Chain A
Amino acid sequence: MIKDAKNLNTNLKRLAEITEWFDDQEEIDVEQGLEKVKEAVSLIKMSKERLKEIENEFEEIKKEIEPKDE
């Protein structure tokens, strides 16, 4: 598990806020926009890694439950 990886659900909420920020943007603030992009990319990267971990763990559990299905 990644040290800084936040809870996947929290990450998704934050990403939703960032995209909403872009949608609601009326005044052009490119500097702040760039910060948001950096944050979003970092969150997405961490989330994908966490998601991969969850998927792997899930596959292992599934194998234990349904050994014959594999």
Chain B
Amino acid sequence: MESLENKIFSVSEFIYLLNIGLKSSKAKIIGEITEMKVSSLGHVYFTLKDEKDGAVLSCIIWKSRYNLYGIKLETGMKIMASGYPEIYAPLGKLSFIAETIEPAGEGELKKQYDELKKRLSEEGLFVDERKRSVPKYSQKIGVITSKHGAVLADFLNNIGRFGFKIKMIDSRVEGQEAVGDLLASLKTFKKQDIDVLVIIRGGGSLESLMPFNNETIIREVVNFPVPVIAGVGHHKDEPLITFAADVSVSTPTAAANYLNQSWEEALLLLERYERNILGRYEDIFENYKMIENKLRVSLQIFQSSLSGVKIALGDYLIKTFSGFKLLLSAANEKLAQSEKIALLNNPERQLKLGYSIAMVGSKVIRNTKDIEIGEDFDLKVSDGKIISKVKQKI
């Protein structure tokens, strides 16, 4: 290979070569902004000054990056920029291309945090009315976190065996470099079929939690199509994502427990229902037994009444026959009595005793005036009649 020392470059070629080398010289630089201007295209040109010896460095942050971090640069602000140096060929000037910017020092960070919190709060992004409830029995879970470290393990160890379908996107979660990853993950999950999105990481300093105070990310979370659970560490200044998320918990374990909750409650309910159903079934069984016993008694009563009817039928037969016999004997008695009376009153019986009946034609002679002297009459005796004549009436 030809030595670079002997190669003759054009200016442009050499600058190009230098820039290849410079791009690998990534660095984080801290300094105070002394000059600043925004180009018509939205790119920001600023100068960082060393606070000790006044050394200066020209810096550029492209519009897309500048907007991503939501930090409004101002002269006098102390910031930390990460990026790489580059020579701008048309001017032959070296500039630091900032890929990320963040306020430097707790004071500046806190100021930025407070300002953003106030602004978004006034806009109504953090109000409870806006928050959506996580659907009960959610199954399709999207998780954004780093696959490195204990956070994911904590979450997976605590999520219950309720048939969850968990999709995970690995994302950096610390420092300004995480903003791009988080945004890309949010956009990916936006298009996927999930019931709830979980964003988790461990606790950290305000500085390390900066991505979770990023305005663009906050707005993505607020407008996310399904409810978002944020489990983003503990800090006295809570990351703004915790206010923006629909549900905020302090740890990955708590996020897992939150998702378990409705399923665990359902299990408890099922157990209670099972107990109730068994209890009710026993009651029904007892009632059935009681009804069965009552039915047995009713059957016996019915059987007795059938016997009663049988006896009654026999009684009616006896009563009817005896009633009729009585009637017959009464009739017989009456007939006999009548016969006796008739017999007693039969005139022929008197004739046999020696009495006779005197009759003129068919008329019985009861008095002397019933016949005249000399008139014939029949004298009826037991075996015939004697024709007689009246001689004298006395």
Contact = CB atoms under 8 A, between A and B. Distances in A.
Contacts of A12: 309, 312-313, 316
Most chain B CB atoms below 10 A, which of A40, A47, A48: A40
Interface string A7-22: 0100010011011011
A28 interface: yes
Contacts of B319: 19, 22
Interface in B107-125: none
A15 B316 contact: yes
Given A22-B323, A23-B323, A25-B323, A58 B303 contact: yes
B320 A18 contact: yes
Interface residues of A, number: 29
B317 A44 contact: yes
A37 B303 contact: no
Contacts of B299: 58, 62, 65
Given A33-B324, A36-B320, A51 B331 contact: no
Nearest to A11: B313
A1 interface: no
Given A8-B309, A62-B299, A40 B327 contact: no
A30 B303 CA distance: 38
Nearest to A48: B313
A51 B326 contact: no
Nearest to A43: B316
Interface residues of B, number: 24
Contact of A28 (B302, B303, B327): B327
Contacts of B313: 12, 15, 44, 47-48, 51
A40 B328 CA distance: 17
B295 A40 contact: no
Nearest to A18: B320
B320 A37 contact: yes
B335 to A, nearest CB: 10
A15 B309 CA distance: 12
B89 interface: no
Contacts of A25: 323, 327
B133 to A, nearest CB: 55
Contact of A19 (B303, B306, B316, B330): B316
B349 interface: no
B326 to A, nearest CB: 7
A22 B306 contact: no
A41 B314 CA distance: 10
Nearest to A23: B323
B310 interface: yes
Contact of B316 (A30, A40, A54): A40
B26 interface: no
Top 6 nearest A-B pairs by Cβ distance? Answer: A22-B323, A15-B316, A40-B320, A19-B319, A33-B327, A37-B324
Interface of B: 295-296, 299, 302-303, 306, 309-310, 312-313, 316-317, 319-324, 326-328, 330-331, 334
